[in-house]
Structure 1
Amino acid sequence: MPRDRRLLWTFPAAVCCARLKLRQCTLFLLFLLLLLPALLLLLWPLWTARPPCTLASCSCDTCVTDQGLYAWFDQRFNATVQPLLTSANANIPTDILLWWLRLQLKDPVPSPAHERLFQQAPKYRPDSRTNCRCHTCAVVGNSGNLVGSSYGQLIDSHRFVFRMNKAVTEGHEADVGRKTTHHLMYPESARSLEPGVRPVLVPFKPRDLQWMQPGTRARRDLRADWDKALVIHPGFMKYVHDAWSQGHGRYPSTGLLALVLALHLCDQVSHSAPAPPGPPGHHLPQEGAGLAPLD
């Protein structure tokens, strides 16, 4: 022990010994020798312990951003990719813009008009992702595998519930739940939404971005909280196509985009449509880091 620390501890004892008799001083020193180790053993766990949420990427039992649980997931998931259009990423890189335009055009030519579409589109304001949170999300597909499942209450217990296209819950609440927080759609699959539900546009072509601008027919004919609208970033669509669907098809399905979007926005994700056996395509394995079937 350094000399200055020894002095720090021995000075009170020396003062005590100067004032007390030798026997009393000896008993006092023995008391200190016995008490200090006991106090150290008692307080050391409290001193070194940290909240569980600081030891992992979130406070859930398993987290989407946990590494090393599944190699296939780690190879595909890139937490740095921003899934939604924001003020910071509205200037689309040329290579991504070309890929996105080629979804519908054979030989596209990027123009300032395309750039303006993204500049005028609704923007997402990202929140600060902290370790001490556990945002659970459910992604509910439109297949019939939930009929008779009685999963409605379980689905509604999640903080966020993602649905897509023309999904309806009325009359099927016991199986699919009644709660929706995010609804992914594009013009051909759009429907009116309940108040409080965020419309999430999946733009497959430039006209889709024009479709949801103020004063358009969509705003007149469809009921939705358009002021809460979000837009999937074309770079995110390319990332899902390249990393998750492994380039199968021309573009990823709305269902796969919804699932990967939830993985990027949430800490733990449940999904209602397990992947059937067969060659890889739009579907994913049932298990993954922070990813689990509802049952």
Structure 2
Amino acid sequence: MNLRLAAVIVMTGAIVGSAVAARAQADKEETAVTPPPAATATNEAQPPAATTAPAATPATEPGKEQTPDAEPATPADPNVDRILRLAEEAGKKIDRLAADFDYDEYETLLDDREFYEGRIIYRKPNRIFMEFTSGAKQSFRFDGRVFVDDRPQQKVRHIYVMRKPTEPEVEDLDVDKVPFPLPFGQQRDKVLRTFDVKYVGKEALGPWAGTSKRAKATDKTECEKLTLIPKPHSPMAKDYQRMEFWVNGESGLPAQVRMIDKSDRILTVRFSNLETGERIDAPDRIFEEQPLPSGWDRFMHE
């Protein structure tokens, strides 16, 4: 599963209560639209229901827990405990959430930077729709069982089946049970099992490097900042050095998320125009696989 995706969903998880991985590397590797080894391709106007095995790259096998290192029930720093509890309580209160986001992907080794804009919609407990509205306009959908990755520029759709139709849906978007990290909906105890968390203090979001006016308008917004370092037993330790969350100290919702991977790629997502509540239009269909456009290839990951 690609880094860009993980980056945004990490941010999403932070919003309601955990982490998205980048799409860039996968995009580069698939310039020739070469199907993954474990995928089967189809080309149909209306794709059949997905019935294959779990996704190719879940963090862990669905339903199985990692064996965590022992950690204290309460963090040594009371501010860590306070912010995590605030975020967890915010997640409990949110049934639906929608937000615009600005995305900054910086390749430090190449000194190369790309910016994207997008929108994300979340519906409790496990529905997510996310699309990039600029650039390649990639989109992602998750309906509790099937994860759909659409890439219009390449005319390719990847299907990752997390749960079969005969199995129960993913109960919630735990960082250890889905192929992407989320910043919303995560419980305090689960975050502490997965990360060593440090409270940095109150800090402004800082200057946005791109040209987005909506992102620049929040440069001086002060939030409470946490640094999360994946514990050695965590699946995320394989790919990420650390994550940084800027959390609104009143609402408990994330304003910005940053992820630094093992290649020193820095992914930053900043949220704006955040809405919650029943007024958000979030019908089942927007989270489900759509009819396959003519001329597209569809890859099932088994």
TM-score, with structure 2 as normaliser: 0.25
Higher RCO, Cα 8 Å, sep 6+: 2
Q: Looking at secondary structure, tell me which structure has more strand per residue.
A: 2
Structure 1 or 2, whichever has the larger Rg, is 1
TM-score, with structure 1 as normaliser: 0.26
